[in-house]
Structure 1
Amino acid sequence: MKNAIHLLIGAGLIAATGAHASEGGGSVYPNGAENFVAGALPPPGIYGIAFVNHYEANRLNDAAGRQIGIPGFKVRATAITPRVIWVPGVQVLGGDLVAHMLAPLVEVEARIGGQSQKKSGLGDITMGLGVGHHHGPNLHSIVGLDVTLPTGSYKSGDLANLGRNYTALEPVLAVSYINSQGFNGDLRVGYLINQVNKATDYRSGQEFHLDYAAGWGVGSGWVLGLGGYYRKQTELDRQAGVNLPNSKTSGMAIGPSIKYDSGRGWFLTAKWQFEKNVKNGSQGNALWLRAVLPL
């Protein structure tokens, strides 16, 4: 899913602080978006997922994780993101083929010093193909490749932007262990290969990231636990072909997470995550809601 929430602030914000980090401090992936049942494909059919996300931050950190004292810094973003998943019932490499697409609808507001800006509209669209396997009644996995396209509006130097203005490729592995009366665990691991933002000749470094959830099934369709994310850039950013020192971004988040499975083909997840140890980016809190239902 497009990072509507993880600071779609433009490069102008980071430049104003004298720091660098995956251009604008954000990412094409909305870290923490996935939750329980991230790696389990449903039976053949068409399914809809609705993500609702609200993010707020009033702290910006430097390359050492220290807070940068910027008067009036604040970012607030809300996104509603529909996602369509198609499982056609086709076997590939011993698993089930799956295709998906998501298109975030975003409202983002950024303030720094005496400046502020607010925008709303379509963000960057993501689509992908994958293959899912059911290794038993409890263990499931999906391997795939996602592509994020620069469909959101972008203007170099703006405080708030709806898109990143570059394409990104992302190999993905998701694994789920599901148990209605016991341990539940989920990992969604991705590796972002970012392309160049031609408006700024800036290329954000490649990034490893994972979303996680761990909980316990307590019966009646409920799972209670924790969830969040971890991210770390593996390469320096580059601008005009030159590596930018101290430009790697990293961070993590953790918070309470729940799932409710109706037993009738639809389920809900919710998570409130708190960011920790962020370097070269904003640090705040996010609410994630997700509803999955057959169409």
Structure 2
Amino acid sequence: MFNSAKIVFAAFLTAVFMSIAPFTAFATEGGGGAYGNGAEDSMSGNVPGPGFWFVNYMNYYHSDEFKDNNGDTLLGKDQFEVTTLANIFRFAYTSNVQILGGNLGGYLLVPLVYADVKTPVGSDTNEGLGDMTISPFISWHTKNFHWAVAFDVTTPTGDYDKDEVANIGRNYFTFEPLVAFTYLADNGFEFTGKLMYDINTENNDTDYKSGQELHADYFAGYHAGPWTFGLNGYLYKQVTDDELNGNEVKDNRGQIMAAGPMVSYFFKGQSIVLKYQKEFEAENKSEGEKVWLKYFVHF
């Protein structure tokens, strides 16, 4: 019985860790998904024009509280604490090839993850390569409106052991169609959203299949010269049940929201973003806080 409990809790912790790996995002197999919710913000729909571009995401996540199906605290700091650090590299290229009037491109995301975990079934640390993501995309632009569609495929390249509590990989594939859009008014006001839907395959080591997930990042703010200020965050809702050995897992769907301030500075084809996100309204997930530091450059 102890080993079974440890496997289930390890699955949950895997989800926690991957919440900070964008395009590696919680219940599902214990509470998370392949995407790091909150990774995107201002101008996410405004995909760079033809050429190579690069984004570096640095993320800190901390939680010492896990919520149950009713949103009440199931585990507190005396039993549960997770701290993760991640650096995610996005290597991208936008081509001159036109499809339906938009530019075709693609990107690769490579996460490096460190996790420090305390749980009722043990404590552990782990570090290394997480689950990598590859995706094609098409992007369009008008005077005030920019948007893009993509199809992310997250691959099980990260370290995983069903008997460990600190995993930095999920051990299954996730397929994620998405659309990102940005509206930038002439007076400098901006609204951006990125809507995603995750379809997960089965973890063959645990016979667990995570449910499907609907989630979105958002930003609303104002541009003043090279500076941008605003509110950013994310919304997440699991929309189908998990399955264990082909049977539905009831009362285990996750949800969470987050909000916080963001500031960015743009200079010479580059930008730096600093943002904070506080989580709330969690169910079947850990509830904590995130800090992001992003660097972008278009070659």
Q: Same fold (TM over 0.5)?
A: yes
Q: Residues 10 and 125 (structure 1 numbering): CA distance in 2 closer, same or farther, change over 3 Å?
A: farther
| 1:86 paired residue among 88, 93, 106 | 93
Alignment TM-score, normalising by the size of structure 1: 0.91
1:276 to 273, 280, 299: 280
AA partner of residue 281 (structure 1): K
**Hey, what does 2:110 align to over in structure 1?**
103
Task: Say which of 63, 76, 86 aligns to 2:83.
Answer: 76
Q: How many residues align?
A: 281
Match of 2:236 in 1: 231
CA distance in 2, matches of 1:14, 1:132: 36
Q: Which moved more, 1:277-286 or 1:21-30?
A: 21-30
- Using the TM superposition, give the Cα deviation of residue 216 of structure 1 relative to its aligned residue in structure 2, in angstroms: 1.1
Q: What is the aligned partner in structure 2 of residue 173 from structure 1? A: 179
Matched, 1:57 2:63: yes
Distance 1:113 1:193 in 2: 30
Question: 2:115 is matched by which residue type in structure 1?
Answer: V
Look up the equivalent residue of 1:132 and give its one-letter code.
Answer: S
One-letter amino acid of the structure 1 residue matched with residue 210 of structure 2 = S
Contact 1:213 1:228 in 2 (8 A): yes
1:12 aligns with 2:17: no
Residue of structure 1 in register with 2:259 after alignment: 254
Q: Matches of 1:251 and 1:114 in 2, distance apart?
A: 25
Query: 1:104 aligns to what SS in structure 2?
Result: strand
Relative distance call for 1:224 and 1:31 in structure 2 (3 A) is: same
Matched residues in 1 for 2:75 and 2:286: separation? Answer: 12
Whole-angstrom distance in 1 between the partners of 2:34 and 2:263: 25
Aligned to 1:128: 135
Q: Is the 8 A contact 2:10 2:162 kept in 1?
A: no
- Give the C-alpha shift of residue 114 in structure 1: 7.2
Q: C-alpha root-mean-square deviation of aligned residues, in Å?
A: 1.8
Q: Which amino acid aligns with 1:24?
A: G
Q: State the Cα deviation string for residues 92-114 of structure 1 (Å, max 9, x = none).
A: 11100010001100001110147
Instruction: Output the CA distance in 1 between the equivalents of 2:295 and 2:68.
Output: 36
| Equivalent residues of 1:256, 1:271 under 8 A apart | yes
Q: Measure how far apart 1:24 and its partner are.
A: 2.6
Report the CA distance between 1:23 and its aligned residue. 0.9
Structure 2 unaligned spans of 5+: 1-5, 14-25
The amino acid that maps onto 1:110 is V
Aligned to 2:209: 203
Q: How does 1:203-222 map to 2 (within 5 A)?
A: 203-217=209-223, 219-222=224-227
C-alpha change, 1:10 and 1:45, in structure 2 (3 Å) is farther
Task: Name the residue aligned to 1:191.
Answer: 197
Q: Map 1:3-42 onto structure 2 (within 5 A).
A: 11-13=8-10, 21-42=27-48
The letter of the residue matching 1:209 is H
Of stretches 74-83 and 170-179 in structure 1, the one that deviates more from structure 2 is 170-179
Cα distance per residue 1:150-200 (max 9 Å; x no partner) = 000101032111111000100010001235742111101100000000000
Equivalent position SS for 1:124:
coil
Q: One-letter code of the match for 2:122? A: Q
**Per-residue deviation, residues 16-68 of structure 1 (Å, max 9, x unmatched):** 9xxx9211312111011111111112121001110000000000000111001
Q: Is the 8 A contact 2:233 2:277 kept in 1?
A: yes
Contact conserved, 2:156 with 2:170, CA < 8 A, in 1? yes
Match of 2:18 in 1: none
TM-score (norm 2): 0.90
Q: 1:29 & 1:14 partners in 2: Cα distance?
A: 16
The ranges of structure 1 where at least 4 consecutive aligned residues each deviate by more than 3 angstroms after the TM superposition are 13-16
Residue 89 of structure 1 aligns to a residue whose secondary structure is strand
Alpha-carbon distance in 2 for matches of 1:198, 1:101: 25
Change (3 A) 1:180 1:79: farther
Sequence identity, in percent? 36
What is the aligned counterpart of 2:144 among 133, 138, 148? 138
